[in-house]
Structure 1
């Protein structure tokens, strides 16, 4: 069952939207927040987030930017009274943009569409791939891999659980991982685009804290692949 939250500084809007979501029969529990600050401070990850834009204090755009740093996969559905904010919503890869007052039909339709993406991602998270190491064959979940690095004539794999040394060349790995949203930012690296936290100049900061170089030669292609990946997450 997906984890859903509502964030709006108008109490009546929160109550009304919560009732609509519950009526859709998608989830039995909805977390509610009355400010962007409280949502960010909660440090919770959600699958679907209904978020107002025009809020006192931290607005919905600022809130989404902070959330996106740690979670690229949350489906953000903006619910606002102002159509002119739609341009800013695309900057944080919003899944949908609804104008108040919203109807039960609109909420249900967006929920059903978001759920289809949620279920697809759940299936992808379970995919594993087999690598040959010096100690034998090893099955690794793709979702656990941060990146591959070629150094000292070996390919190292940085994962959530351990670091592995695998057989094969970095080019062979790049070709093999291409279909799983991995990309090559430098001749010595293959990275999981899902775990790219930020790209500044020619540095790539990963969600595990690693700093990976982005070569000038690969920069345009890598940034294009990253943008396409992010667009596919919305």
Structure 2
């Protein structure tokens, strides 16, 4: 399943885009969960609540423009792919400020649009990387993008997922350190905890809070480095 949000103030274009996305998903045998919006504020709220895999965004809209919407999205999520679909080429250069995945002009060229979706899906599949963890009931695939944090508990490790569920895996914590690395978007902030950087809502010198409200300790020796790693993750250099 892929979760895709489309935002445009023209409902006729939303209908056209919906049909094109349905066609592309059927061709790839994908289940589409589609979210439609006519203004940026609704899109921002929905993305924070549900977490989109891809956002298709009109540039020229009343109230909150596409660029302002994208800037707001980037404050909370530096990595969600954004494709701009607009009638004007004049904002193409500016769009790279928010690290746009692609910039397409209206009217929609479906062949080109589907080629761009193919490029996005290739990247998306790579982000769906996972590892097979040992549990009491056998091996279970755990997707990195689903993980909120890990906690060492005796000889097991508790993996808390973004949906609130917890999986107890029979892996040494030191082994998890070599799997859940900074390169994959994780950081060992304490001797017993590894946190997903994308899930950090706020932090201080002794602890961080995830977007779900969980409080995770930060060891004194880790704070300075954690701060550097976190800001590098949130504001990557081009």
* TM-score bracket for this pair, using the shorter chain length: 0.5 to 0.7
Q: 1:65 to 1:105 in 2, by over 3 A?
A: same
Displacement of 1:104 in angstroms is 2.6
Displacement of 1:216 in angstroms is 0.9
Measure, in 2, the Cα distance between the counterparts of 1:141 and 1:70: 27
Q: How does 1:105-120 map onto structure 2 within 5 Å?
A: 105-120=111-126
Corresponding residue to 1:174 among 170, 177, 201: 177
Q: How does 1:173-212 map onto structure 2 within 5 Å?
A: 173-178=176-181, 181-193=185-197, 195-198=198-201, 204-212=208-216
Displacement of 1:156 in angstroms is 5.5
Measure, in 1, the Cα distance between the counterparts of 2:168 and 2:23: 48
Q: In the TM superposition, what whole-angstrom CA distance separates every residue of 1:168-202 from its partner, at most 9, and x where no partner exists?
A: 4x555312433754322345532234x42445565
Aligned residue for 1:159? 160
Question: Are 1:33 and 2:40 counterparts?
Answer: no
Aligned residue for 1:50? 56
Q: In the TM superposition, what whole-angstrom CA distance separates every residue of 1:66-112 from its partner, at most 9, and x where no partner exists?
A: 65688777532112325336445543x53222244442333121111
Show structure 1 runs of 5+ residues with no match. none
Q: How does 1:79-98 map onto structure 2 within 5 Å?
A: 79-80=85-86, 81=88, 83-84=90-91, 86-87=93-94, 90-91=97-98, 93-98=99-104
RMSD over aligned CA atoms reads 4.3
Measure, in 2, the Cα distance between the counterparts of 1:188 and 1:44: 29
Displacement of 1:7 in angstroms is 1.1
Corresponding residue to 2:148 among 146, 149, 174: 146
Alpha-carbon contact 1:145-1:157 (below 8 Å) kept: no
Q: In the TM superposition, what whole-angstrom CA distance separates every residue of 1:127-164 from its partner, at most 9, and x where no partner exists?
A: 33227xxxx7875543354223469x887534132375
Measure, in 2, the Cα distance between the counterparts of 1:22 and 1:166: 41
Question: How does the TM-score come out when normalised to structure 2?
Answer: 0.64
SS in 2 for 1:111: helix
Aligned residue for 1:224? 232
SS in 2 for 1:9: coil
Q: 1:211 to 1:69 in 2, by over 3 A?
A: farther
Alpha-carbon contact 2:199-2:210 (below 8 Å) kept: yes
Question: Are 1:10 and 2:10 counterparts?
Answer: yes
Question: Are 1:130 and 2:134 counterparts?
Answer: yes
Aligned length in residues:
220
Show structure 2 runs of 5+ residues with no match. none
Question: How does the TM-score come out when normalised to structure 1?
Answer: 0.65
Q: 1:184 to 1:52 in 2, by over 3 A?
A: same
Measure, in 1, the Cα distance between the counterparts of 2:35 and 2:41: 14
